[in-house]
Structures are given as structure tokens and as C-alpha cells.
Structure 1
């Protein structure tokens, strides 16, 4: 359940990152435009995403022993964190790539947890 919620949060972050530049380029957004670009919105989106990643990815690893979902997820989380401090030009690229990696990590974690079989080989 945590991975589904985390994937949804990451998806909302992606929608925000893609929709904001498009909506701002259309102009005339007024209050909505200032809300979308406000720094606190980015922090408010990052906080639940980080909390869900910190709880679901390690517990998934304990269950299925595959490192790829956690590596993808935490790399995506690191990119999202970097986007909070990056210059505006790099923020969108870091946010979109981080969100996609994080979603992939959560969905992969969910898949492996549902399969339930631990990995026996060293390549997992």
C-alpha cells in the first residue's frame, strides 16, 4: 500500500513539474501561478515523498532482497532533493528525472514484494 501511495505522490510531483511551465507559458494564471511556483509547494510535495520512500523501499528490500528498486528510488529522491536547491534552469530536468526514477523504484518494489520470492542470486 505504501508503494502505491508513494507512486501516486511521485506522479503528482511529475504533473506539477510538467504542468507548471506549460501553464505559466500560457500566461494569466495569477494566484494559481504564484502558488505553483512557490518554494513551500516544492517542500510540501517533497516531505511525504521522502517519508514514503524512507519507509517503503527499505522494508521492501528486507522482504525481497533486490537492490535495484531501492537504488532507483533513492537516486530519484536524491535528484528531487537536488532540484530543491538547483538553479531554475536545471530544476525541471532534475525533478522530472527524479520523479520518474522514484516511481520506477516504487513500482518495481511493489512488483517484487507481490511476487514474494526472495532473490537467491547475487545479481538482484
Structure 2
């Protein structure tokens, strides 16, 4: 029997995984381009990108993980995703540099993992 993916929750979980991957690529590419070549610092390291990214991540995770937690009553996806969002928020507090990159990368991997766990429990 084929398992049907929940409508809006499944879409938001998949969106969350894609956005997390894009954020990870942004962190790695931004670090390489800025540190290695001195390119794009004004745009790639603009704090507004990170603030907007965190707001979008909170909204997407709130919808998908929240609906999932209510439906499947499993705590792990929620705990993992919220821990990731906390790391992402912490990255905003430390300012630009290696610490920000590391905290953000840990955060987005945890958020993506929370979405994948949420999808599996669907």
C-alpha cells in the first residue's frame, strides 16, 4: 500500500529541506568567495539575508513541524528542528566570521533533519 504524503505539511517539510540546503550552499559559497577571492562581501554577508532567512525558516518549520507534532505526537522532529533554529539564531548574535558560519551550518543541518524526521513520521 502506498503511503500518501500529507498535503500542506509534506510540502512545507520538503520546502524546509530545500531552503536548508540552499542556506548551506550560501554559507559555504559565501565563505569561499569572500575569504578566498574577496568577492561579494557586501551582498553575501549582508546581515539582512540572515535575518530574513531565519524568519522564513521559523515560519516554514513552525507550520510543518508544528502540524507534524500535533498529528504524529513524536517529539524528536520538533526538538531537532527547534535546536537547529536556536543555532541559527545564535549565529546572528555572534556577528560575521567563522563562528557564524559554523553555527549556521549546524543549525540548517539540524532543521533539515527535523523536516526529514517529520516526513518519515507522516
TM-score by length of 2: 0.85
CA distance in 2, matches of 1:108, 1:18: 24
The question of 1:42 aligning with 2:50 is answered: yes
**Which residue of structure 2 aligns with residue 81 of structure 1?**
89
Is 1:68 aligned to residue 90 of structure 2?
no
Alignment root-mean-square deviation, CA: 1.2
Q: Counterpart in 2 of 1:120? A: none
CA distance in 1, matches of 2:78, 2:110: 10
Query: Which protein shows a greater Rg?
Result: 1
| Distance in 1 of aligned mates of 2:28 and 2:36 | 13
Between the aligned partners of 1:26 and 1:97, the Cα distance in structure 2 is: 22
Q: Equivalent residue of 2:121, what SS?
A: helix
Query: Aligned equivalents of 2:38 and 2:79: distance in 1?
Result: 41
List gaps (5 residues or longer) in structure 1.
Answer: 114-124
Separation of aligned partners in 1, 2:72 and 2:116: 14
Is the aligned partner of 1:18 residue 2:2? no
Is there any run of 5+ residues in structure 2 with no aligned partner, and where?
1-10
Distance 1:97 1:28, change over 3 A: closer
User: TM-score when scaled to structure 1?
Assistant: 0.84
Q: Of 86, 90, 106, which aligns to 1:97?
A: 106
